[in-house]
Amino acid sequence: MSFPLLTAILLAPVIGIILILFIPEREQLTIKITAAVATFISLVLSIYVYVAYDQAAGGLQFLEDRSWIPALGVNYSVGVDGISLPMVLLTALVIFTGVFASWDMTHRVKEFFLFLLMLVTGVFGVFISRDLFFFYLFFEVAVIPMYLLIGIWGSTRKEYAAMKLTLYLLVGSAFALIGIIALYLYAARQLGYLTFDIQTLATVQYDIAFQKFVFFLFLIGFGVLVPIWPLHLWSPDGHVAAPTAVSMLHAGVLMKLGAYGLIRVGVFFLPEGAKFWAPLIAVLCIVNVVYGAMIAMVQRDLKFVIGYSSVSHMGYVLLGIAALNTLSLSGAVTQMFAHGIMTALFFALVGNIYHKAHTREIARFGGLAHQMPRVAAGFLIGGLASLGLPGLHNFVAEFLIFLGAFTREQGLFGGLLTYRTLAILAILGIVITATYVLRVVQRTFFGPRKEAWDHLEDARGVEMVPIVVLCATLILFGLFPSLMGDLIYSGVAPLVAKIEAAGTVGGIF
């Protein structure tokens, strides 16, 4: 029997939780080192799985299967393919760097890292699950700790933001649960036995009317977490109120759970339903892109800029999903990875500045590059990635999405609108993004030196870990896109083949 790599990735933070439980609260450094070691183990194993994955063979690999509740068809079953493996690697990178971004944490350190590791355990579980029961179980495990992490360690109306986030996500979870139960019962009638196995459920021929209804449930359920407009209102407040590491996980990983669920469960199970609702997703995603960018442009708080920027950039993921072809879906998954790394970098840097300056108000800064050149360099790299500069990974993602959208011929609203038109509008979002990113960089880091900030110290020591690791990741996959692109293609190609085999279904418009 081969070593259970995926289970080890999942259990490393769990073991970290158990060890931290036995460490006295006063031993803060020991607690932080334990969390760092636990997440480092997950990172190393994730990199090994990424390198060892056989892209030529494709499909699910590193499989593990254990019966859990046979009477209900529930099994502990895990595996990764070209869609889920990049998300596992993304999660490992973000949580490892997030621990170091929280190295200055002094308030209730023990509980903070316990809940942080619990959150990331749920995220790992979602991405590796091959059983729909465990998929949903881990989905809930990933959402629930957010309330405590924001409500206790957050800032800027933290109780309000924590409650708002939790209520939105729980309502979304309820819609997703109804859809999962409907799939489970429908499949049981067709198969003659009960199962939550994702691969088995995907072989069932679901009625077209059923697909349209259930896909809409998933669109709401997972769309809240993406977030898709107009279900996005919880997200910017959650970003701003959350402590640094939680903001990194929130924007870098948790938002990807929604898009991943929409692809893995919605499109994979219900291709006809996806085709029917795709035009609506395409229209809403442009609202995400343009609206999010316009609101980000007028924000005065650094975190609010990044929060609304995330809403905008996740719109590109939705456009890739809506176009439903190999290029666009490859671009959507690539954007999920690239955006996760980029926003984690942004929030790590903003957290570093806020901890030392005790403000995030853009107008109060100016010339910080004199006092904090390393932070300024990291922010500039993140900003250039945000506006899609060639040589950084975000450019690859957005290029694939736009190319995929241009190749989609379907007309919307009686032919008055096409995917090509939407792609052009999405490109307009990049222009707006460039405007507010460059403005923020100029106002915050460049210009005359302000002596009022001479007491600020540049990032150093453990503070450099997030900057170096995340910047290097953006540059590595930007300069060598095939390192991630070939892997993602191996996962997307079978999905697109299933979509094409599903036949022609008229869209909602």
What is the tens place of the pLDDT at every residue in 467-509? 999 999 999 999 999 999 999 999 898 888 887 776 665 566 5
For residues 193 and 189, give the distance between their C-alpha atoms in angstroms, rounded to a whole number. 7
Residue 121 has pLDDT above 70, yes or no: yes
163 or 180: which leads in pLDDT: 180
Nearest residue to 99 via CA among 165, 12, 157, 177: 12
Q: pLDDT > 90: what percent of the chain?
A: 40
- Give the rounded distance of the alpha carbon of 207 from its chain centre: 31
User: 0.85 exceeded by the pTM?
Assistant: yes
What average pLDDT does range 127-143 have in this prediction? Answer: 91
pLDDT tier for residue 14 given thresholds of 50, 70 and 90: very high
- Judge contact between 220 and 168, C-beta under 8 A: no
- Judge contact between 157 and 304, C-beta under 8 A: no
For residues 375 and 378, give the distance between their C-alpha atoms in angstroms, rounded to a whole number. 5
For residues 348 and 235, give the distance between their C-alpha atoms in angstroms, rounded to a whole number. 18
Burial class (CB in 10 A: 0-12, 13-18, 19+), 415: exposed
Show the tokens assigned to 334.
């690539």
Residue type, 362: I
Quick check: helix, strand or coil at residue 77? strand
**pLDDT at residue number 505:** 56
Helices (H), 446-481: 464-479
What is the tens place of the pLDDT at every residue in 78-116? 999 999 999 999 999 999 999 998 888 888 889 999 999
What is the tens place of the pLDDT at every residue in 309-351? 888 888 899 999 988 888 989 999 999 999 999 999 999 999 8
Mean pLDDT (the chain) is: 88
What is the tens place of the pLDDT at every residue in 277-316? 888 888 888 888 888 888 888 888 888 888 888 888 888 9
Element (H, E) at 63: strand 61-69
Burial class (CB in 10 A: 0-12, 13-18, 19+), 203: exposed
For residues 310 and 87, give the distance between their C-alpha atoms in angstroms, rounded to a whole number. 17
Lowest mean pLDDT among 1-10, 25-34, 153-162, 489-498: 153-162
What average pLDDT does range 401-424 have in this prediction? Answer: 73
- Give the rounded distance of the alpha carbon of 146 from its chain centre: 15
